[in-house]
Amino acid sequence: MAPQTSAPAPDWRHPFTLVVIGTFLACIAQFFLMPILPLLVVRRLGGDEARVGLAVGAFAVTALISRPLVGWLLDRFGRRFWLVWGMAVCVPCMGAYGLVHSFEALLAVRLAHGLLWGLTTVAMATVAADLVPAKHRGTGMGLYGLAIPMAMAVGPMIGSVLLGEDRFFLVFAVGTAFSLAGLLAFQPVRVPEVANAGARLVLSRLVEPRVLRLVLFLVAFCVGFGGWMSFLPLYAPTLGLHGAGPLFFAYAVGGLTSRVFAGRWYDLRGPHLPGATSVGLVVVAWLCFALAHHPTLALVGAVALGLGFGTGGTIFTAMAVDLVEPDRRGAATATVYSAYDIAIGGGAVLFGEWVDLASVQRVFWAGALASSLGGILFFAMVLPHFRRNRLAL
């Protein structure tokens, strides 16, 4: 049976805005966890660096497992149900963090939350891509992507302020309220009907092969981020900072700034220059962190990291969407998001076993090397493939 699709409605800006707002609110709650989770493991549950890496990585493992199936569900049955109900089940998951009293319980919550967050984030991005007309795809995905650094600019800092003297329950209660607000924003959204009743549940429908070269590049490009996210809250005090909040904020400022122009840059010039800029900024960022012995250079590195990943997050998602038909956008988005899960989860677990606080710089040197390798893959494999296979607008 032929896929059922409809073009973006003339009034697409209103539902698109609601999706951006809902994503922003949901991600604020998610980014509460960035500075809080390592402290929860160490202070409340008595864990060490290896367990911090495992707690971060476990989330990505189940998100990775869920994404290919979610992509098929979105393409087979449409988008809205999975957007709303996926977010609805994420709400109690956030509250459950405040109730854990053992590392095993935390691990169970992380596994369940990762599964549901994997579903919801694919639905968010796919709905955003559906709503934006093709000629504005880069700009639209860039605007959608603003929600993520904006949430990162405020989420970790709010979480750190709320935590105070280990008030973990308060942090997760407020995080639950933000998740609920995100759900309420998604509730009235109506999206174009995109469903393929003939899509069978087979491997070729779960993974989009046309974006696999992009996946290989992204894994190398982003693997250092897993280590950075895991250990920064524990490492920041060694730089003379009271916490990781300023570094997360600087990262978010860079990400917010880059997403303002990256999408338009992609629409006008294609992925060549934005891709090269993204790789270069990320490599410079890792070098700044590797060489930092005081806050200034680390803050410069955080801004450069935000600029690099913000630019890349916009254009690489747009590239994946531009390689496939509308009824394959769910699978394409899920496949790309799986690359981030592999990189971040794998990096967190790998570096958690490899380093201690005295040698965190090794994470950043390894990140610089891996991102440089990713840049070679981007120009050798990804760009030629994209030029040959990009669908006409």
Instruction: Report d(CA 136, CA 133) in Å as an integer.
Output: 6
Instruction: HSE, CB side, 13 Å, CA atoms: give it for residue 77.
Output: 11
Instruction: Report d(CA 152, CA 262) in Å as an integer.
Output: 18
Residue 195 bridge partners (DSSP): 4
Closest alpha carbon to 44 in 156, 175, 167, 160: 167
Per-residue tokens: 195: 């469903």
Cα-to-chain-centroid distance, residue 338: 10
Whole-number pLDDT of residue 1: 44
Return the percentage of the chain with pLDDT > 70, whole number: 91
CB 179 within 8 A of CB 90: yes
CATH of 13-194+206-389, one of 3.90.550.10, 3.40.50.1950, 1.20.1250.20, 1.10.10.10: 1.20.1250.20
Instruction: Report d(CA 324, CA 211) in Å as an integer.
Output: 9
Whole-number pLDDT of residue 231: 74
Whole-number pLDDT of residue 352: 66
Per-residue tokens: 370: 């891996």
Whole-number pLDDT of residue 2: 43
Total residue length of the chain: 393
Whole-number pLDDT of residue 159: 83
Query: 341-369 pLDDT, tens per residue?
Result: 788 777 777 776 666 554 677 788 888 99
Whole-number pLDDT of residue 305: 94
Whole-number pLDDT of residue 195: 56
Low-confidence ranges of the chain (pLDDT < 70): 1-10, 49, 192-206, 352-359, 392-393
How many C-beta atoms lie closer than 10 Å to residue 348's C-beta?
28
